[in-house]
Amino acid sequence: MLEAKELVLSGWANTPAVRSLSGVLRLKGLKFRFEPFTLLELRQVVRHGGAGRGPVLRLDGRTVAGPRAIRDFLEDHRPQPALRPRDISAAAWCHVLEDWAEEALAWRVAVLRWLVPVHRERAAAAAAAWAPALLRPALAETHRVAMTLRLRARGRTAADVPAAEAALRRDLDELDRLLHDRDTLLGEPHGRCTADLVVAAELQALDGTAYEESVRARRSLIRWLRATRAVWDGAG
């Protein structure tokens, strides 16, 4: 039983991946400890040209790496409350939405957070906020360099900001239309699923940026986003 095991989630602090997995763990009623990647681990990412490590879940000597693998593991080993639909078609849509959020939406959000100077400084400071004050400047700078390298490895530069802004507007419009008559991404009878948490975590990363107002301006989207965040913030 997972309740009897010590669960440790590690990853990049203050990232959508960690935020969504924390939400899954809380909604599953599982106690866990979060350990941010250390400054040394982040510098190793920089030395490897920005090739990033994903979140890792550890329990009793076992390691599960990567957001999708961790979600699957938790759903298999803690099936209640269910966060994946039992209906095969709905489960497939849940996976599709997760993949879209972590591949397409996530990189658009990353471009807008880390390649727009005013947002980059705020993102770096937030990523280092957990550390002792003495280490925060070095940690923030390492996060900034690591994210810049990760984006460069994906072929993203500051020249891509306008295209990312336009794509984000389309994404928000589509999500708003999808949610106009439902409370969750899949709607009834499926209820809230892991895709809701993954998409919401990506959008939450826009808080404090110039793009936050674009999210708030879409009534169905912001209603769903607030409800989803309230559920995972208040769980457990």
What single DSSP character describes residue 2?
G
**pLDDT value, residue 108:** 95
Could you tell me what percent of the chain has a pLDDT over 90? 50
**pLDDT value, residue 54:** 77
d(CA 78, CA 3) in angstroms, rounded, equals 9
Mean pLDDT of 117-129: 88
**pLDDT value, residue 1:** 57
DSSP lists the bridge partners of residue 64 as 57
Residue ranges of domains in the chain, CATH in brackets: 2-77 (3.40.30.10), 88-234 (1.20.1050.10)
**pLDDT value, residue 89:** 92
**pLDDT value, residue 13:** 73
pLDDT digits (tens, 9 = 90+) for 51-91: 556 788 998 888 898 899 999 999 998 888 889 998 999 99
Buried/exposed 181-213: b ≥16 CB within 10 Å, e otherwise: eeebbbeeebebbbbbbbbbbbbbbbeebebee
Mean pLDDT of 1-30: 84
Q: Is the pLDDT score of 211 beyond 60?
A: yes
Q: What is the model's pTM?
A: 0.89
Nearest to 52 by CA among 124, 135, 123, 154: 154
Nearest to 233 by CA among 13, 4, 89, 20: 20
**pLDDT value, residue 50:** 44
Q: Is the pLDDT score of 4 beyond 60?
A: no
Q: Is the pLDDT score of 46 beyond 70?
A: no
**pLDDT value, residue 112:** 95
Q: Residue count of the chain, please give it.
A: 236
pLDDT digits (tens, 9 = 90+) for 97-115: 999 999 999 999 999 999 9
Average pLDDT of the chain to the nearest whole number: 87
Q: Between the CA of residue 61 and those of 1, 64, 68, 70, what are the distances in Å?
A: 15, 10, 20, 15
**pLDDT value, residue 67:** 92
pLDDT digits (tens, 9 = 90+) for 140-198: 888 888 888 889 888 999 999 999 999 999 999 999 999 998 899 998 888 899 999 99
